[in-house]
Amino acid sequence: MTSIASNLQAVIARIAAAAQACGRRPDDIRLLAVSKTWPAECVAEAADAGQRAFGENYVPEGADKAEALLGRGLEWHFIGPLQSNKTRLVANAFDWVHSIDRLKIAERLSAQRDPARPPLNVCLQVNVSGEASKSGVAPDAVPALAEAVAGLPGLRLRGLMAIPEPTDDAALLRRRFAGLREQRDALNAAGLALDTLSMGMSHDLEAAIAEGATIVRVGTAIFGARH
Ligand SMILES: *Cc1c(COP(=O)(O)O)cnc(C)c1O
């Protein structure tokens, strides 16, 4: 077995253990393998081991890999910061975008998505840590943005995404993840039908799963340390 295949198995086992520890079904948590900076050969190796969904942060790099591996039935998720001059490529090279943080970007993606294809799945990225430097929409601006995005024909609003500030404070992390879940629940109570909480990475996926993550985005634990 290759190291990517065995790392993948270990991550899948961590997800299952974390789900069981909080009484959730492992099948309700999807693994997004974050392949940014790794060549298409590494993605192919993970795909050979059964992994279907891949996350990328950089537009041309991600689109090139999707193109190179076309026909393998993979699903591509854009998870990085998105500038408006890059939306056209993202709108059609990817199946999901997790990092919507303003309406203008969402409107462009909606208008540029090929109408012959299913709507692009999107999540709003929420700035749960309140740091000025972090991307993501401020929590109090989420309801209005969610309403507006939900009305765009080329998009399907699936849920919320967050990247908490780096911290060793386990209780703080849990509060950040719980806050995102509460925000998703509030939007659903207001009439939206959001099924996705994209939260948790290599070092904190257990805490995210305990708070309701439905997609964990894992890079380092699968592919190794990025250079
Ligand atoms: C790089 C990245 C990840 C993966 O992080 P790891 O710590 O390598 O698992 C997850 N989400 C986003 C948005 C990223 O940019």
> How many Å lie between the centroid of ligand 1 and the Cα of residue 38?
13
Ligand 1 atom closest to Cα of residue 36: 1
Please state the separation of Cα 199 from the chain's center in Å.
Answer: 7
pLDDT at 224 over 70: yes
User: How many domains does the chain contain in total?
Assistant: 1
Ligand 1 and 199: CB distance under 6 A: no
Q: Across all residues in the chain, what is the average pLDDT? A: 96
Alpha-carbon separation of residue 88 from 50, 111, 155 (angstroms): 30, 9, 14
Give Dmax over CA atoms of the chain in angstroms: 48
Sequence-distant (6+) residues with CB within 8 A of 220 are: 201, 202, 203, 226
The 10s digit of each residue's pLDDT in 134-163 is 789 999 999 999 999 999 999 999 999 999
Q: What is the pLDDT of residues 155-164, one digit of tens each?
A: 999 999 999 9
pLDDT at 214 over 70: yes
Pocket test for ligand 1, best of 98, 217, 218 (most atoms within 8 A of CB): 217
Give buried/exposed letters for 132-141 (b at 16+ CB in 10 A, else e): eebebbebee
**DSSP, residue by residue, 105-147:** HHHHHHHHS-TTSPPEEEEEEB-TT--TTS-SB-GGGHHHHHH
Query: Which of 139, 145, 141, 143 is CA-nearest to residue 103?
Result: 145
Q: Ligand 1 in contact with 202 (CB < 6 A)?
A: yes
Ligand 1 centroid–CA 218 distance in Å is 6
Full-model pTM? 0.97
CATH number at residue 161: 3.20.20.10
Average pLDDT of the segment spanning 48-58: 98
CA 118 to centroid of chain Cα atoms: 18
Q: What is the pLDDT of residues 31-46, one digit of tens each?
A: 999 999 999 999 999 9
* Residue to mutate (ligand 1; options 79, 167, 198; most atoms within 8 A of CB): 79
Cβ 201 under 6 angstroms from ligand 1? yes
Write the pLDDT tens digit of every residue in 78-116. 999 999 999 999 999 999 999 999 999 999 999 999 999
Q: What span, in angstroms and rounded, lies between the C-alpha atoms of 120 and 88?
A: 12
Domain range for residue 206? Answer: 3-223
> Which pLDDT score is estimated for 2?
78
Is residue 61's pLDDT more than 70?
yes
CA distance 173 to 47: 31
Sequence-distant (≥ 6) Cβ neighbours of residue 182 within 8 angstroms: none
